[in-house]
Chains A and B, each alone.
Chain A
Amino acid sequence: MIAGPNLVAAIRNLRFRNVPPQWLFTLGVSVLLVLLPFAIPLDGRPHADGLQFLGRFHPLLVHLPIGMLVLLPLLELAGTTRLALREAAGFVLLLTLATGAVTFAFGISLAYGSGVMGATVTRHMWGGIALLVELMLCIALRPAWVSGQVHRIYPSLLALTLLTLIWTAHQGGSLTYGSGYLTRYMPGPLKEFFPSASAASDAAYVGSVYARHIHPILDAKCVSCHGASKEQAGLRLDFYDLLMKGGRDGAVVAPRNPDRSLLLQRVTLSPSDRHFMPAEGRTPLTTDEIAALRAWILAGASPTAASIPGISTAQENPDLPLQPVGDYSFLMNEIRQMQGSESAKLDAVSAMPSDGLILRTSDVASKFDDAQLARFQRFAPFIVEAELGRTAVTDACFDTLSKFSNLRALHLEGTAITGRALAKLSPLSQLTYLNLSGTKVTSDALSPLKGMPNLRHIYLFDTPAEPASTATNRGTP
């Protein structure tokens, strides 16, 4: 925009006359594209509504060039035997560039018009630029490949373009659906390869009302647009400090004054109001969520307060995304045999196998020891709850338990465990409930459990570790 024609002229003057015109065009446009983000920076300020109107067609239009670009290598491959398809490929390539350019223009309008900013948006934009440049290079290189002068460059470039496409499309998908969309329901073993799949939050405030009630609301309803990947209006709500800092319109939370808090104003407007949040038809906040936000702000919007009037603290939803366990039906014969015998039993949590199994020992509690527990190792990944209360297990049981990778609730009340080996529970990322009542566990022995984010219910009644008050839920002292 700044120096486009001049640049082309300059290149011409520099004795590149023997260079074919499409090369000059490609070079010129590429330079322009790379300069574009500097000419119109995404500053988080919304611009003309007309731009936004056009821009919103970007997600709609984008699938057209994607489809054609994916079709292209197939056509080229098939073209080795059927020449007509090879001719078609050339046309499809041109069309891909044309529609891609329009899509890109709409994308820029969307980002610039709505005032979005953030790392993912930026990455998505650079991906789009790279794609256009690569497509133009493809067009320029293809004739030489078709005529057999060059063999490898065009196919490798095409492959590179496809890789770029995948990466860019993923960024775009993250913008629309949130970054955890693909990994959220990923089976356990796969997740280990994607360590970044879990959402970040303020580690310092574990157990507070903010961490348990407020952050999850914001995370579910707001952070997809006001987070690290997208910072609409320069506002981020994914960390406490950023929430309190506010955005371009100033602070959004006025402690002790819910009515003057922009955050609350926006979510309580009429849904038809253009300032209503969450925007763009996303799921609005429920009345309970609004009530919780109001109560929290009214109480001073503290990040550390452990209980606040109006927000129930007695018990919470198990709102962490529970991993479904695998299908245990191939073990069903053994499970049924066990149920008929006089031994510990495995019962299904529900009719859905993905809900897992419960290990029940109450029939044989006094005789159930570490060796018997070890026999259940082969069911380990399917057991979500182990009822070992008043059994004869000892500290050695943790060696077996550490393999119960999907364990959510563990009852060890009234057993002889001392807590020395509690650290072995730390790989159990799904563990939410641990009952140690009536054991000899001391508060020092509990320290390895501090790093387990999901472990929210620890019961220590009648132990040396029991807190002064009888309430034993961590976070509600």
Chain B
Amino acid sequence: MKQHPLCTDCENPVTPFDLPIPAGLKREWAAVETRRRFLGRSGKVLGWAALAGLFGELGLRSFANGADINSVSADGRNNLGLPHFAPRAKRAIYLFMSGGPPQMDLFDYKPNLASQFNQDMPASVRGNQQLTGMTAGQAHFPVAPSHWPFGQHGETGAWVSSLLPYTARIVDDLTLIKTTNTDAINHEPAIMLMNTGNMNAGKPCLGSWLAYGLGSMNDNLPTFIVLQTKTNPKENNQPVSSRLWSSGFLSSEYAGVGMRSDGDPVLYLADPAGVDRNVRREMLDTVEQINRQALAEVGDPETNARIAQYEMAFRMQSSVPELTDLSKEPQSTWDLYGPEARQPGTFAYNCLLARRMAERGVRFTQIYKRGWDVHGDVVGVLPTLCQETDRGTYALVTDLKRRGLLDDTLVIWAGEFGRTVYSQGGLTQDNYGRDHHPRCFTTWMTGGGVRPGISYGETDEYSYNVVKDPVHVRDFNATILHCLGIDHSKFTYKFQGLDQKLTSPVPAHVVQGLLA
């Protein structure tokens, strides 16, 4: 026998059973790769092939649906048995503050810090935590108290920074979570974890899970829409991209549909000159036929997604102009959202669009606002960030409330992590910087399913560690799913041999204290 170049001892070939690997893996190998099993499977494949031939196109189509075969019925609606229980919220709007807002400058009021200005934070508070490369080399960790005064607002008397005068007005409606915490200390893993429940890219995000699980409420609009706020070049903008609203291993139908923040929200909505609606329809019908042929030949489930997306695009040609036509908005809208809302791409404009989408049955809207990564010049940049977002946020919640939509809409405000109480770089009387901080940060929710007017959890006097009632990102996401009628532990999708979940793999818990 000719010796294989990699085989050193072909008399006694090495098998997986000789390798120093866990016994469980060996057992799995033994179960999968026996000759008998190989032959058995080959036989089954022939059988399936014959069956597929018998059923013709129908059979192949069901193959093409792949893992969805059991969950999607012929009419395209899923049979997952969701929601598991009657939901308090039908839809959600997620205001994502990318970069990591400084919790102690906005919501987590720490009056005692003023007296410790420029004193080193006790080493015991930090413990053995690994810091980012940006501050790990600092010899000192001087406490930087918030530059802005706080005030008590609403009937609940919650403390809110003077930077957020509008948000302060709705504080009685908010469920403040002071103890949100994450595992990651850098943007990319942290923002992935927040959105998809996993630090590595490739998993579906919250919106995709919801689109997959709950389906559409309006077939003329995408189930999951992403709005980006135009960036301000003076701010430290961390990148966001479609990986954050990707459907991962779910069908691409469930990916977020991004709308442009400048010019037309969706390109080529109008049919080109000379092409009327019927011509467009006929063209799409023909394209669908060709796609179905490809599906029959190749059986790639993504072909299904492509067909669905062409149809969606056709319907969006009429539904999106109506959605983005703000000319019929009454004066009271502009009084509420402010003049900025008239400019496409501003946060206030996106908030107004989000309200209009909620009215029209869009299941999940995510608005990204970048620039919260305030490593330096907090005093210079933070007021701008707050001014850009404060009124839109207030207006959205107030508008939903007065129109009766807040009863069944969950609004979420969160970034990917918080910021350190100690100053990054030089601390002066007038300015300071703040580094990333994963151990605690403030987020809030309001609307269907959550308890208004409470502040959940407590942090220590440096807003550094959680003292009481931590809410991990996984618990945060489990609670969001709960409000939408989903038991996060039962909402799974089989992929790579695992029952994948938004909240896997470490067990997550719905935070009962947040629920109404």
A345 → chain B closest CB, angstroms? 9
Contact call B402/A459, Cβ cutoff below 8 A = yes
Contact call B403/A351, Cβ cutoff below 8 A = no
Checking B75, B219, B332, B516 against A336 with a beta-carbon cut-off of 8 angstroms, the contacting residue is B75
Contact call B86/A355, Cβ cutoff below 8 A = yes
Contact call A314/B172, Cβ cutoff below 8 A = yes
Q: In the complex where A349-B83, A350-B83, A351-B82 touch, is A339 in contact with B77 (Cβ < 8 A)? A: yes
Contact call A350/B85, Cβ cutoff below 8 A = yes
A411-B407 Cα distance, complex, nearest whole Å = 12
Contacts of A435 in B (CB 8 A): 403-404
B42 contacts the other chain (Cβ, under 8 Å)?
A: no
B165 contacts the other chain (Cβ, under 8 Å)?
A: no
A366-396 contacts to B, CB under 8 A, are 387, 389-390
Contact call B407/A315, Cβ cutoff below 8 A = yes
Q: In the complex where A350-B84, A461-B404 touch, is A363 in contact with B220 (Cβ < 8 A)? A: yes
Contact call B398/A470, Cβ cutoff below 8 A = yes
Pick the interface stretch among A79-87, A105-113, A237-245, A305-313.
Answer: A305-313
A219 contacts the other chain (Cβ, under 8 Å)?
A: no
A362-B361 Cα distance, complex, nearest whole Å = 7
A449-B84 Cα distance, complex, nearest whole Å = 33
B452 contacts the other chain (Cβ, under 8 Å)?
A: yes
Q: In the complex where A349-B86, A413-B403 touch, is A314 in contact with B452 (Cβ < 8 A)? A: yes
Contacts of A340 in B (CB 8 A): 74-77
Contacts of A387 in B (CB 8 A): 361
A433 contacts the other chain (Cβ, under 8 Å)?
A: yes
Q: In the complex where A309-B155, A309-B156, A362-B360 touch, is A470 in contact with B83 (Cβ < 8 A)? A: no
Contacts of B361 in A (CB 8 A): 360, 362-363, 387
A18 contacts the other chain (Cβ, under 8 Å)?
A: no
Contacts of B219 in A (CB 8 A): 342, 363
Residue of chain B at shortest CB distance from A288: B451
Q: In the complex where A336-B73, A413-B403 touch, is A362 in contact with B516 (Cβ < 8 A)? A: no
Contact call B407/A350, Cβ cutoff below 8 A = no
A237-B247 Cα distance, complex, nearest whole Å = 55
A347-B77 Cα distance, complex, nearest whole Å = 10
A307-B77 Cα distance, complex, nearest whole Å = 44
Contacts of B359 in A (CB 8 A): 389-390, 413
Contact call A307/B155, Cβ cutoff below 8 A = yes
A83-B76 Cα distance, complex, nearest whole Å = 71
Checking B156, B330, B402 against A310 with a beta-carbon cut-off of 8 angstroms, the contacting residue is B156
A462 contacts the other chain (Cβ, under 8 Å)?
A: yes
A342 → chain B closest CB, angstroms? 8
A472 contacts the other chain (Cβ, under 8 Å)?
A: yes
Per-residue 0/1 for A281-316: is the Cβ within 8 Å of any B Cβ (1 yes, 0 no)? Answer: 000000000000000000000000001011011111
A92-B87 Cα distance, complex, nearest whole Å = 55
Contact call B75/A437, Cβ cutoff below 8 A = no
A352 contacts the other chain (Cβ, under 8 Å)?
A: yes
B312 contacts the other chain (Cβ, under 8 Å)?
A: no
Per-residue 0/1 for B70-106: is the Cβ within 8 Å of any A Cβ (1 yes, 0 no)? Answer: 0001111100011111110000000000000000000
Contacts of A342 in B (CB 8 A): 219
A433-B405 Cα distance, complex, nearest whole Å = 11
Interface centre among B76, B401, B452 (most CB of A within 10 A): B401
B301 contacts the other chain (Cβ, under 8 Å)?
A: no
Per-residue 0/1 for B376-412: is the Cβ within 8 Å of any A Cβ (1 yes, 0 no)? Answer: 0000000000000000000000100111101110000
Residue of chain A at shortest CB distance from B454: A312
B132 → chain A closest CB, angstroms? 39
A147 contacts the other chain (Cβ, under 8 Å)?
A: no
Residue of chain A at shortest CB distance from B174: A314
A255-B62 Cα distance, complex, nearest whole Å = 70
A376-B383 Cα distance, complex, nearest whole Å = 53
B223 → chain A closest CB, angstroms? 12
Interface size on A, residues (CB 8 A): 39
Contacts of A409 in B (CB 8 A): 408
A307-B332 Cα distance, complex, nearest whole Å = 26
Contacts of A347 in B (CB 8 A): 215, 217
Checking B74, B218, B404, B516 against A472 with a beta-carbon cut-off of 8 angstroms, the contacting residue is B404
Contacts of A411 in B (CB 8 A): 404
Contacts of B82 in A (CB 8 A): 350-351
A329 contacts the other chain (Cβ, under 8 Å)?
A: no
B173 contacts the other chain (Cβ, under 8 Å)?
A: yes
Contacts of B172 in A (CB 8 A): 312-314
B53 contacts the other chain (Cβ, under 8 Å)?
A: no
A372-B86 Cα distance, complex, nearest whole Å = 26
A349-B88 Cα distance, complex, nearest whole Å = 10
A350 → chain B closest CB, angstroms? 5
Contacts of B84 in A (CB 8 A): 350-351
Contact call A309/B157, Cβ cutoff below 8 A = yes
A13 contacts the other chain (Cβ, under 8 Å)?
A: no
Contacts of A355 in B (CB 8 A): 85-86
Contact call B485/A350, Cβ cutoff below 8 A = yes
A417 → chain B closest CB, angstroms? 15
A337-B76 Cα distance, complex, nearest whole Å = 11
Contacts of B173 in A (CB 8 A): 314
Per-residue 0/1 for A208-238: is the Cβ within 8 Å of any B Cβ (1 yes, 0 no)? Answer: 0000000000000000000000000000000
A123 contacts the other chain (Cβ, under 8 Å)?
A: no
Contact call A360/B217, Cβ cutoff below 8 A = yes
Contacts of B217 in A (CB 8 A): 347, 360, 362
B408-434 contacts to A, CB under 8 A, are 408
B248 contacts the other chain (Cβ, under 8 Å)?
A: no
B189 contacts the other chain (Cβ, under 8 Å)?
A: no
- Taking Cβ atoms with an 8 Å cutoff, the residues of B that contact A are 73-77, 81-87, 155-157, 172-173, 215, 217-220, 330, 332, 359-361, 398, 401-404, 406-408, 451-454, 485, 516
**A–B pairs, 29, beta carbons within 8 Å:** A309-B156, A312-B156, A312-B172, A312-B451, A312-B452, A314-B173, A314-B401, A316-B516, A337-B75, A339-B77, A340-B76, A349-B86, A350-B83, A350-B85, A350-B87, A350-B485, A351-B85, A355-B85, A360-B361, A362-B218, A387-B361, A409-B408, A413-B359, A433-B404, A433-B407, A435-B403, A459-B402, A472-B402, A472-B404
Further contacts, 14 of them, CB under 8 A, given A315-B452, A350-B485 = A314-B401, A317-B516, A336-B77, A340-B77, A351-B84, A363-B220, A411-B404, A413-B403, A433-B404, A435-B403, A437-B402, A461-B404, A470-B402, A472-B404
- Taking Cβ atoms with an 8 Å cutoff, the residues of A that contact B are 307, 309-310, 312-317, 336-337, 339-340, 342, 347, 349-352, 355, 360, 362-363, 387, 389-390, 409, 411, 413, 433, 435, 437, 457, 459, 461-462, 470-472
User: 5 tightest A-B contacts by CB?
Assistant: A340-B75, A459-B404, A362-B361, A314-B452, A362-B218
